[in-house]
Structure 1
Amino acid sequence: MALLTETDGDRKLLHKKSRTICCSCCASCCSHCIQCLSGFIFLLAIAGLVLCARYFLEFPVILNGFKSAMNYTEETVDALIANSGTNQPASTQTCKMFVGSFTLPNEVYLPAYNDTSSADFQRIAQRLQTMINTLLNNSLLTMSYGNSSVFMLRPNPTTANFQMLFCNDNATISGIKADNVLQILRNYTYANISIKVDSITVGGGTPCPTFLNTNQTWPWHIILQDNKVTLCSGSLLSSFWILSSANCVINRDLSLLSIKLGDGQRSLSIDTIIQHPNFTTSPVLSNFALIHLSTPMWFSSSILPICLPQMSQDPTIGSVCSTLVWNTLTSGFSGLAGAVTSELTCLISKTDHGTFYFKPSLSKMSLNQTDTGNALVCMNADGTAYLQGISIYQSNSSLLTSPCLSFSSIGQTISWINSYLLT
């Protein structure tokens, strides 16, 4: 029995020692595992910091490198960053049309350039459009750039007028500025085309037309239709905007309205109509409405905008002007010259604020019909034409009680118009 007891004690002691050794090994292993895991996590953290540093430090370096190498403005860089956004819906597009010009010092102006449909004009216009497209498609703004068009060449010196279309998401198109585009055009050298670089402009208006002969079709004249039935007339002010009378478009179904161009070959849909905030029907005051097109207008010799007055004032008595009338004999529009005149001359005893009168040089029986919203175009001292007013009512020669026509003056509403045209 004593031998058996001693053997049991030895076994217990051996078991105790074995357990102690095992626990010690486990603890050591766990300690090594923890150390390894901590080291791995530490390495991941270091790698993450390195990646972050590369992103935040090197990305601006790339942008600044572009800016330095190509001399872009801060707005151009901002536009690039804005264009890289992915949170805006791709289906929602906003467009801007910029108008610009540059001179061609080595280009001899040809008489054929007066006609944009001529082969001579088309040849040089295509060369210039290809050049513009190449510059913009190789720039930081290529994601927004659409297309260009050279729509006019003028002499002394030979100058090209062009349009450039940019479309992008609503939130990013605001980053495309005229200065951005100007800087891009001015930072390239031109091969095979001699252009005076410091003459390049972007964001200006279309040159005011010279006063047109009354027998010519006015390229800014448009017709507003409701379900293809003529309502009234209007005037093209820019690629997207038309000015007409508010009393012509109020309470109309926008989906049924369309614009017929002066060339009579195309019809464009309307996106928005904005009537003047001070418009009233009785008496008729601030009788203006701006019409925004769904797609921009590309200019040509038959489609050109009319300029606004140089000063925000009503026309002076005696100003030489013209308006369009519909001739029932020829079934077409023709110009009618005359002058701004007084109420007394028109035998009118009461006038509404902002209304002035135009007396055609011909007798009232020569006048067939003028549309509501029709333009009265007057002359500047330099021989260029500008929009001075729009007709308040539709007038027919057989119904006139006065030898004059009534127009709403543009003068006092120029700032309101420009608040939309210049955005």
Structure 2
Amino acid sequence: MIGNWLSTLVPEPGARRRLGLATGIYNIGTGMFITSSVLYFTEGLGLSITEVGLWLAVAGLIGLFGGVPMGHLADRRGPRGVAVLSLVVLALTMAAYVFVTSIWMFVVVTVVEMLATSASRASRGGLIRRVGGEGAAAYRSQLRAIENAGVGVGAVLGGLALQLDTLAAYQALFLVNAATFLIGAWVCARLPLFAPMPAPPGSRRWVALRDRPFIAYTALNGVMSLQYAVITFALPLWIATETSAPRWMVGAVLLVNTFGVVALQVWVGRKVRTIHQGAAAMRVAGFVFLVACAGVAVAADLPAWAAAAVLLAAVAVHSVGEMCHAAAVFALSFELPPAHAQSEYVGLQDMGLGTAFAVAPAVLGALCLGLGQVGWLLLGGLFVAAGMATVPVARWALRSRPFPLTSDGVPVPGADISTGPVVASSGRDAA
């Protein structure tokens, strides 16, 4: 049974498995970075928490504006080259952090890192659509499970450096992180060199920025994306300050969330393929988040053992909502955009996601920590409203698509993707 489950996480041989391998490798580096970066910046580099927080926010906002133009470049030049180049730049920024000696060097490196991250995410959207074909949404769910597994492994390695708590350990971690990005770039470079998809006659430039239904969906998805900060920001503080549960529960709930996504994301993603299914999954996610938020709120009034049990159950429920939300995003982000502008649309979608990450501490702090139990219920209501609003927005998008929803130029699963709109690349790109 375990073997069957593992087989669902491993993409089929060829380009899909190769991209999955690259994804797993560089997300190990991402896990190490997430775990250790803030302490390295503050304790290793001697920067203040205020400086780090301010400039990370500024760099993140600058990076938001890089997604659409970098996605457009990937659509017009081919997604593989931009994806590979962005991973190489990310490797260089990880190595550059080792040599930072001033706040201004930190700012420059961080801005470049955020721009490269935006380029990587946008170009990868186009790459996934070309590699995944008509099953791109389900394939993206596989990649998300692989991402979470990679981040989990990286977090364990990052924890070892935290335990050593020396400058040399942090620097070694960043250099290993750089190596994971370089290896990921090398693996991605062995993917087929997909030629750009031709734009339909009469198409205008920057089509994503003119697509009002997709912009509305992007805003709603930004609201729903606040849920990611619930597990990483609001819940740890709530557990530590407002419940009688032991503090080790912070790590326990993170493990429940991570393992839940790794185990079930592929299964959930396979059930959400169309625009209608994506909108319905977003609506379901909103109600599931409301139930989870209510459980977290109730935990504040319970004794330690009951609070721990309720929190674990609430996080398990939240994880189901997270998987429904992710599956909805994958379906909508691959079915609504035209094939020739996939990366540009992903860049626009990531602007909403990045905005959510930027404002999440302030919003969740005001609601969940400022208003307490009522705030958790209001947050759940916000998720319900965003989920329900996605349904009419999806219908609006369906009525207003000026292009076919499925492009004949996108390969189908199982097809020989070395033919059709693919340029041969020195023989090593054969699946």
Please say whether Structure 1 and Structure 2 have the same fold, judged by a TM-score greater than 0.5: no
Structure with larger RCO (C-alpha < 8 A, sep 6+): 2
* Larger strand percent: 1
Give the TM-score category using the shorter length: under 0.3
Tell me the TM-score normalised to structure 2 length.
Answer: 0.21
Larger radius of gyration: 1
* Larger helix percent: 2
